[in-house]
Structure 1
Amino acid sequence: MGAGIAHAFAVAGSRVVVVETDRAAAEAAQARVARSLTLSVERGTTTRAQGELLAAVTTATDASAFAGCALVVEAVPEDPALKRAALARVEAVLAPDAVLASNTSSLSIDGLAAGLARPDRFLGLHFFNPVPASLLVEVVVGNATSAAVADEAVGWVRALGKTPVAVRDAPGFASSRLGVALALEAIRMLEDGVASAEDIDAAMELGYRHPAGPLRTTDIVGLDVRLAIAEELHERLGERFAPPGLLRRMVAEGRLGRKTGRGFYEWSQ
C-alpha cells in the first residue's frame, strides 16, 4: 500500500519520501515504486518522463526525513499500538501546519488521534488496493479534525485523479464495513458448501456487476487483513462480524491470498 500511495502522488507531480524500518526494506520499497512507475510509463497511463518520476521518489530509514513534508500518510500494518507509535514519531518532526493521515481501513481515527499533540491536523485517508488503478479514497474525519484539514484532504484526493468519499469516524467507515460484511457471508457460504468460490464470485460479478467477487477480492486484499478488520468490527459492532472458522484456519495455514500464491484461488501464475 505504501508503494502504491507513493506511486499515486509521484504521478500527480509531488515529491515523495518513503520511510521504511531499515535499509533493506527501503531499497525494496524503492524498487517496487520504480517498477510501478516504469510500468505506468510503458502503458501510457502517465505523460511524465520516466526519469522525472523516478527522481521524484526518495527513501529513508528515519522519520526525520519527513520534516519538510506537507502531508504524511502512515501505512503500517493494522495494529493500533504500532500505528500510534509510528504516528507519534512522525508528528514530532512535522511542521505545525503539516497534515498527518492514516491509511487504516478500520481502526478508529479518534483512537489513533488520542496520543497526538495536534489531533486537529490528523485524519484518515483510506486508499484502496491497487492504489494506482483504484478510483476511490475515503476521507475519514475524526471528531478533532479541523474542517480546513478535511477540505484540504479532499483537494489532494481530487488532485490524484481519484474520487473522495467523506465519512465520519465510525467502525469500518463505509467501504470496509460493507465490503467485509459481504466477504464474511461469502466465506460462510463456501464453508457451508452452498457453492464453489468461483460460483459465489460469479453471482456477484454477473448478477450485481461487481468487477471482482467477494472471495477473489479477499484474496487480493489479503486474508490476514480481512481477518484483522473483521476482528475489530466484531469487537465494536457485535456478532454479525464474527470471523468464520474457515477464514481463521486459512490465515493460520498461511493461505493469505495473492501475496502468498494461494487463498480461495491459486495465484501461482
Structure 2
Amino acid sequence: MSIQTMALVGTGVMGMGIAQIAAQAGVNVLLFDARDGAAHTGKEKLKQTLDKLQAKGKLTEDDVKATLERLVVLDKLEQIKDADLVVEAIIENLEIKQTLFKQIEAVISPEAILVSNTSSLSVTALATACQHQGRVAGFHFFNPVPLMKIVEVIAGLVTDEHVIEELLDFAKRIGHLGVRTKDTPGFIVNHTGRAYSTEGLKILGEGVTTVSEIDRILRDGAGFRMGPLELFDLTALDVSHPVMESIYNQFYQEPRYRPHPLTRQMLTAGRVGRKVGHGFYQYVDGKKIDEAPLQSVPNITIFDKVWVATDLEQDADILKQYLNAQGIELDSAEDPANDSLCIVATYGEDATTTALRLGLNPEHVVAIDMITDFNRHRTLMPSLATSRHYKDQAHAIFAKDGTGVSVIAESVGFVAQRTLAMVINLACDIAQQQIATASDIDQAVKLGLGYPFGPLSWGDHLGAERILLILERMSAITLDPRYRPSPWLQRRAHLNLSLLHTA
C-alpha cells in the first residue's frame, strides 16, 4: 500500500505541523476538527507560516501554492473515508481518543492505517476501541514538527508488521527519521527524558543548590540546551507533571521515575511556567527576569599550597596544569601538609565520604566535579566541615581565569554527575528491555530532546566505567534503588565495549 491521502483529525499546533510536512512532501491532506472553524483557522495560520518562509527565501511562490492546494478542509468526519492514513492529534485523553477511533473506523476502508500522535498513552489500549486492531499504531511527532526531524513509530501488542514498515517509509518520505519502538510508557524520548527532569527536581528538593545554579551547571557545564527547571517552565507543569505521574504509575512506581511533590504543589498553585508568568522563574512578556547571577568570587590574592587527589589520572593532569598556570604552589607529598587545601576530584560520592575514604581532614577538603567541561564551568563541593578559609580559597583559585564557578552543598554525585549518569543509565535500561535498538535510542533522544550526544554515545564519550562508578557509589551511599546500574551498562563497562554494542 502506498499512502497518497492522509487525513489529519485535530488541527492544533501539532496537527498542523504534521499536515505541513506531509503537504510539502506531496501528500494530499484532509483536515478535520470537531471544533467549529478550527480546521479553517489552522489552515490560515499555516498559510501565514508558509508566507513568512517564502519572504525569507526558503520557499518559492509555487511551493506555497502547491502546499496549500493539497490541504483540504472538511466539514464532517465522514469525509475522511478515502484516506489511506488517518492521523489523530487531539487531547491526550485515552477515553476521548478511543471514542474518536470508533468513529473513524466506522467510515474508513478496512485497509486504511489509523495512528495516534500520543506522547504517553498506550497504543495497545487505544487499539481496543477498534475491530481491526492490527492497523492501529502510534506515530509520535515532536514540537515544532517541521524542525524536529524525528517521529516515534510505536507498535502496539497486535499491530501488524506491514503497518510499521509503511509508517517508517512514510516518515522518510516526509523528511523525518522514523524510529521503531515498543508500546511502553513514554516510548523512547519521553521515557529517557524522565531521568533529566526528575533528577533535577530531586537535587532541588535535597537543598543541594538553587534553581539557577542547577540550570547553570547542567546548561553551561554539562552541555544541555536548557536546564531541567527552565525546561519545566517552557513545557509548563500542567503538561509535564501529569506525564511524570502517568509514567511513574504505568511502571508500577518504579523508583527511577519518581516525581517530586514540589511540582504537584506548583501545579495546584497555578505556577505552571512561562505561559502564566511564574514557574521556577518569573517572566515578563515571556522573558525570564529573576535568574540569579554567578556567585561572587572571594577577594583573595595569597593562596595556600594545594594538594590534589583524583579518582582518574586524566583529572589529575588537568588540575595540576591549571594550578601551575595560575601560579598556585602544589603540595606534591604523598599526604597533605597540615595547612594545605585538599582538592579532590571524586565521582559519585559527597565530599565527606571522599575525605574519610582518603583519610583527609574534612576541614581542608573541597571536591571538584570533573565530568563537566572544565573550561566552560566548574562545580565545587565543600564538606559539611570545610572551613570558610578553604572554601573561599578554592572558589577564588578556580575562578582566577574568569570561568564560572558554582559552589554547592554536599551531594552524592554533585549535580552534573548524577544527572548525566541517570540519563545514560536509563537509556541503557531501555536498550536492555529491547524497547528500541541502541542506535534508534541514541538518534531519537538526540533529535527529540536536543542533547549534544545521544545518551549511549554520551556514555561512551564520558566513559562507561566512570558512569558505572558514579552509580555504584550513589547506590551504596543512599541505598536508593533509583541509582542501581543497568545490566546493559555493567556488562559493557566491565568488557570495555561501547554502550552501542549489541550481541
The one-letter code sitting in structure 2 at the alignment partner of 1:67 is K
Structure-1 residue corresponding to 2:30: 17
1:154-210 per-position Cα deviation (integer Å, ceiling 9, x unaligned): 011111211111111112111111112321222333344434444433433344433
1:91-145 per-position Cα deviation (integer Å, ceiling 9, x unaligned): 2211111111111111111111112111111100111111111011111111211
Structure-1 residue corresponding to 2:101: 87
Contact 1:23 1:60 in 2 (8 A): no
1:203-243 per-position Cα deviation (integer Å, ceiling 9, x unaligned): 33344433333334333433222122212112121153343
Bigger shift: 169-178 or 223-232?
223-232
From the superposition, tell whether residues 13 and 184 of structure 1 become closer, same or farther in structure 2 (CA, over 3 Å). Answer: same
More helix by share: 1
User: Which residue, out of 42, 53, 57, partners 1:40?
Assistant: 53
Name the % identity. Answer: 33
The one-letter code sitting in structure 2 at the alignment partner of 1:17 is L
Q: Name the SS for the 1:235 alignment partner.
A: helix
Q: With structure 1 as the length reference, what TM-score do the two structures score?
A: 0.88
From the superposition, tell whether residues 213 and 92 of structure 1 become closer, same or farther in structure 2 (CA, over 3 Å). Answer: farther
Bigger shift: 7-16 or 208-217?
208-217
Structure-1 residue corresponding to 2:43: 30
Structure-1 residue corresponding to 2:417: none
Asked which structure has the greater CA Rg, the reply is: 2
Shift of 1:244: 1.9
Matched, 1:159 2:159: no
Structure-1 residue corresponding to 2:202: 188
The one-letter code sitting in structure 1 at the alignment partner of 2:108 is L
User: 5+ residue gaps in structure 2?
Assistant: 1-13, 287-503
User: Which residue, out of 110, 126, 139, partners 1:96?
Assistant: 110
User: 5+ residue gaps in structure 1?
Assistant: none
Instruction: Please give the residue correspondences for 1:137-148 in structure 2 after superposition, counting only pairs within 5 Å.
Output: 137-148=151-162
Instruction: Please give the residue correspondences for 1:1-269 in structure 2 after superposition, counting only pairs within 5 Å.
Output: 1-46=14-59, 49-237=63-251, 238-240=253-255, 241-265=257-281, 266=283, 268-269=285-286
Shift of 1:69: 1.4
Q: Name the SS for the 1:35 alignment partner.
A: helix
Q: With structure 2 as the length reference, what TM-score do the two structures score?
A: 0.50
Matched residues, number: 269
Shift of 1:260: 4.2
Q: Name the SS for the 1:49 alignment partner.
A: helix
From the superposition, tell whether residues 18 and 186 of structure 1 become closer, same or farther in structure 2 (CA, over 3 Å). Answer: farther
* CA distance, structure 1, for counterparts of residue 178 and residue 48 of structure 2: 27
Shift of 1:8: 1.7
Shift of 1:23: 1.9
Bigger shift: 13-22 or 183-192?
183-192
* CA distance, structure 2, for counterparts of residue 211 and residue 79 of structure 1: 30
* CA distance, structure 2, for counterparts of residue 62 and residue 181 of structure 1: 43
Highest RCO, 1 vs 2 (Cα 8 Å, sep ≥ 6): 1
